[in-house]
Copies of this chain bind each other. A is one copy, B any other.
């Protein structure tokens, strides 16, 4: 079993939990899970979600069956999710400015420090192997040194994602049980040198940042396709619009910018020059729900000075994609821990993440990243 803690009881967590239960019950086939046909050491079915944390007062204390039923309306939700009740996590202002009634352990206990101690002591009881962060997108933040990380995170001054990362590293340091902290959201965890060196020291693993699903990895592979043909990309435009709370929160300029950074990090890396681009979440349109609409336009020059254009449109179940990625990376992370990998791990991040840490890691196309990943996981006897 892979003891797993989810941070954020939102759509991503709901699709993941619903799908996982169906997978275990063999109601669905293992479709949409990268590497699933190769996995030897651990598999998605081994994942055991031991706790889910949130700070939305309408979710804390409720069970994941009722939450998922609302958030994932088009798929039937397994009743086994009634057993998972949402616990109160650390707020650290992550929902500030959004229309959510939220309070964190720090509100209940009086200070961030006490909240963190409480959260760490809960981890000690939960004995997680893997902690997955899928909370609301926060503004982009980097921490340069371990000292800065400890100082800011332990006082909730660098947002919730980094506070949870800090708690994860503390848990590993204190118990000697290495944990993998997987940050599927934009703020720089695996991209912050201070965070990575703390995990390094703790013998623990931090993977991130920002799950690569949907239009962004597709764009990466399209750009690689162009680059390999020697084409000169003239411009890239990519629009995303959806109707869930993820998109709603991204209408806030600071949070939007956070996504823009992770989504755009690939262009120069893959092409070798910074082709003009406009890539960001564009808007919120409620009826689209979790099935976002994507439009992309790429114009390029080919041999002899001619201009070609490629337009991509897509309807994508964003949360299904995210959940499939979770079902893949959790067993991989557990296997890496068992093989003694710590700090961060670029090869894994490059495939699963939009902005792969640790800092300095170049984005490469996803297809190339996948080939590398296959090779390294085979070497490590994980697949």
A: which residues have CB within 8 A of B? 15, 18-19, 22, 28-37, 74-75, 217-218, 221-222, 224-225, 228-232, 234-235, 237, 239, 241, 243, 276-278, 282-288, 291, 293, 295, 297, 299, 301-317, 320-321, 323-324, 327-328, 365-368, 370-371
A37 B228 Cβ-Cβ under 8 A: no
A278 and B287 contact, Cβ closer than 8 Å, known pairs A18-B304, A28-B305, A228-B34: no
Indicate if the CB atoms of A277 and B282 lie closer than 8 Å. Answer: no
- Could you list some 22 contacts between A and B, CB below 8 A? A29-B232, A30-B230, A31-B232, A31-B301, A75-B304, A225-B366, A229-B321, A234-B287, A235-B286, A239-B239, A239-B241, A241-B278, A276-B286, A278-B283, A288-B299, A308-B314, A308-B316, A309-B315, A312-B313, A365-B367, A367-B368, A368-B371
Q: How far is the CA of A370 from the CA of B287 in the complex (A)?
A: 29
**In the complex, chain B residues whose CB is within 8 Å of the CB of A284:** 278
A285-B278, A368-B371 known; A225-B230 Cβ under 8 A:
no
Residues of B within 8 A of A366 (CB): 225, 228
What's the nearest-Cβ distance from chain B to residue A38, in Å? 10
Q: Given known contacts A15-B304, A32-B304, A293-B297, is B287 in contact with A276 (CB within 8 Å)? A: yes
Q: Are A303 and B33 in contact (CB under 8 A)?
A: yes
* Inter-chain contact A235/B368, CB cutoff 8 Å: no
* Bound form: Cα–Cα A237–B283 in Å: 9
Q: Which residue of B lies closest to A36 (CB)?
A: B230
Q: With A and B bound together, what is the CA distance between A286 and B299 in angstroms?
A: 12
* B residues less than 8 Å from A323 (CB atoms): 303-304
**For A306, what are the chain B residues with a Cβ–Cβ distance below 8 Å?**
32, 74-75, 291, 317, 320
Determine chain A's interface SS by DSSP, over half rule. Answer: mixed
Residues of the B chain whose Cβ atoms lie less than 8 Å from the Cβ of A286: 235, 276
Give the copy number: 4
Give every chain B residue within 8 A of A36 (Cβ-Cβ): 230
How many angstroms between the C-alpha atoms of A304 and B317 in the bound complex? 10
Tell me whether B295 and A320 are in contact (CB under 8 A).
no
Given contacts A367-B365, A370-B228, contact A28 B304 (CB under 8 A): yes
Q: Using Cβ atoms and an 8 Å threshold, which residues of chain B touch A309?
A: 314-315
Check if B303 sits within 8 Å of A327, measured CB to CB.
yes
Specify which of A276, A291, A367 lies most central, judged by the most chain B CB atoms within 10 Å of its CB: A367
Asked if residues B287 and A299 are in contact (CB atoms below 8 Å), the reply is: yes
Are A324's CB and B230's CB within 8 A?
A: yes
CB–CB A315/B308 < 8 A: yes
Q: How far is the CA of A317 from the CA of B283 in the complex (A)?
A: 25
Do the beta carbons of A32 and B282 come within 8 Å of each other? no
Given A228-B34, A302-B320, A320-B302 in contact, is the A313-B295 Cβ separation under 8 Å?
Answer: yes
Question: What distance in Å separates the Cβ of A200 from its nearest Cβ neighbour in chain B?
Answer: 29
Give min CB distance, A325 to chain B, whole Å: 8
Q: Out of B32, B282, B304, B317, name the residue touching A230 (CB < 8 Å).
A: B32
Q: Which residue of B lies closest to A365 (CB)?
A: B367
Measured CB to CB, the closest approach of chain B to A354, in angstroms, equals 15
CA distance A28 to B230 in the complex (A): 13
Are A225's CB and B221's CB within 8 A? yes
Residues of chain B contacted by A243 (CB below 8 angstroms): 235
A307 to chain B, nearest CB (A): 7
Extra contacts, 13 of them, besides A75-B304, A311-B313 (Cβ < 8 A), are A29-B232, A32-B231, A32-B303, A230-B328, A237-B285, A239-B295, A276-B285, A276-B286, A278-B284, A295-B295, A295-B297, A306-B320, A368-B371
